[in-house]
Amino acid sequence: MRGRKRRKLVDAGQESPLDFAVQNRDRNTITMVREALDRGDAVLAYQPVVQSANPQNVAFYEGLIRILDETGRVIPAKDFMGAVETQELGREIDCAALRAGLRALRQTPALRLSINMSARSIGYPKWKQILTRGLSSDPKIAERLILEITESSAMQMPELVTTFMSDLQDKGIAFALDDFGAGYTAFRYLREFYFDIVKIDGQFVRNVHSDPNNQVLMEALISIATHFDMFTVAETVENGAEAGWLAQSGIDCLQGYFFGAPSLTPPWLSEKTGKEVAGT
């Protein structure tokens, strides 16, 4: 009898306790993000992307969006983007990231910086206005700006992404395909996208020095990217053994905690000398 009653409630569209908890959590997250944006508490954390042949040389930095809650605690994107990605609030997050990135590029002429965005923001007027104003203030900024789009996001609207990329690449902006290998990129679209950079997903990097399966997959992904004349970056490199194997494999650049954690303090400003040491 109890089982029939439960099925009847489910059939009637009643929420399960788990569904309710998830929705309540998402509502709280959305409120937290909206309030943080209203306060102007959205910042970038910078992580270096280094040359595999010479890890002392930074090729560029990635600016990762963070928000600060009402207590000043730093909240990484993975803790809130899932709840806001499909909403207008997700577009506002992209606007905040772009605005902060353009500001950093204006302040540091030697800096080369990548900023994440969703393909959903391509048609968002405010995002485009921020970019247009930023480039009009200094057209040379475009040559130092990299826009990262995740593989899953790009595949949702490939035709729109290819047109968008073509227009901005003519202005000098480079594009990176983030989390390459994690999604379901059709190779015909990969051929048509013309990404300048592919960032290979960290799941293939983990223990690559000792995992034969990851070695085969990594070599295949590098080969595909090289065939299409795309610069390669391995994400989430966490130790020297992984870094050594990747360097031998022909990867162009490496990114991960082994080379530096994301920092709210711009790492290209040396605390000891005060001199700029940005990647170029």
The pair of structure tokens assigned to 45 is 């954390």
Residue 185 is predicted with a pLDDT of 58
- Residue 277 φ/ψ, nearest 5 degrees: -130, 40
CA atoms within 13 A on the CB side of 83: 18
Distance of CA 24 to the CA centre of its chain: 27
pLDDT in tens, 222-267: 999 999 999 999 999 999 999 999 999 999 999 999 999 999 999 9
- Distance, CA of 191 to CA of 6 (rounded, Å): 51
- Kindly state whether residue 190 falls inside one of the protein's structural domains: yes
- Kindly state whether residue 273 falls inside one of the protein's structural domains: no
Please give the residue range of the domain that contains residue 53. Answer: 41-255
Distance of CA 38 to the CA centre of its chain: 23
Which percentage of the chain shows pLDDT scores above 90?
Answer: 68
Query: E strand or H helix at 47, and its extent?
Result: strand 42-51
* CB within 8 Å of 174: residues ≥ 6 apart: 145, 146, 147, 196, 197
User: Does residue 146 register a pLDDT over 90?
Assistant: yes
- Kindly state whether residue 24 falls inside one of the protein's structural domains: no
Residue 272 is predicted with a pLDDT of 43
User: Does residue 190 register a pLDDT over 80?
Assistant: no
- Kindly state whether residue 239 falls inside one of the protein's structural domains: yes
CATH number for position 156: 3.20.20.450
- Distance, CA of 75 to CA of 67 (rounded, Å): 5
Three-class SS of residue 72?
coil
pLDDT in tens, 63-97: 999 999 989 999 999 898 888 888 999 999 999 99
- Kindly state whether residue 204 falls inside one of the protein's structural domains: yes
pLDDT in tens, 93-109: 999 999 999 999 999 99
- Kindly state whether residue 63 falls inside one of the protein's structural domains: yes
- Kindly state whether residue 263 falls inside one of the protein's structural domains: no
Query: Average of pLDDT values for 11-37?
Result: 69
State the alpha helices, DSSP H only, in the chain.
Answer: 2-11, 17-39, 81-84, 88-107, 125-137, 151-156, 158-169, 187-193, 212-227, 240-249
Domain count for the chain, please give it.
1
Q: Is the pTM of this model over 0.75?
A: yes
Average pLDDT value over all residues in the chain: 87
- Kindly state whether residue 138 falls inside one of the protein's structural domains: yes
Confidence of residue 181 (pLDDT cuts 50, 70, 90): confident
pLDDT in tens, 155-168: 888 889 999 999 99
What torsion do the CA atoms of 13, 16, 17, 20 make, to the nearest 10 degrees? Answer: -50
Q: 272 versus 87: which is more confidently predicted? A: 87
User: Does residue 274 register a pLDDT over 50?
Assistant: no
User: Does residue 277 register a pLDDT over 70?
Assistant: no
Q: 5 versus 110: which is more confidently predicted? A: 110
CB 96 within 8 A of CB 65: yes
Give the lowest-confidence range in 92-96, 134-138, 149-153, 215-219: 149-153
The pair of structure tokens assigned to 244 is 């050594």
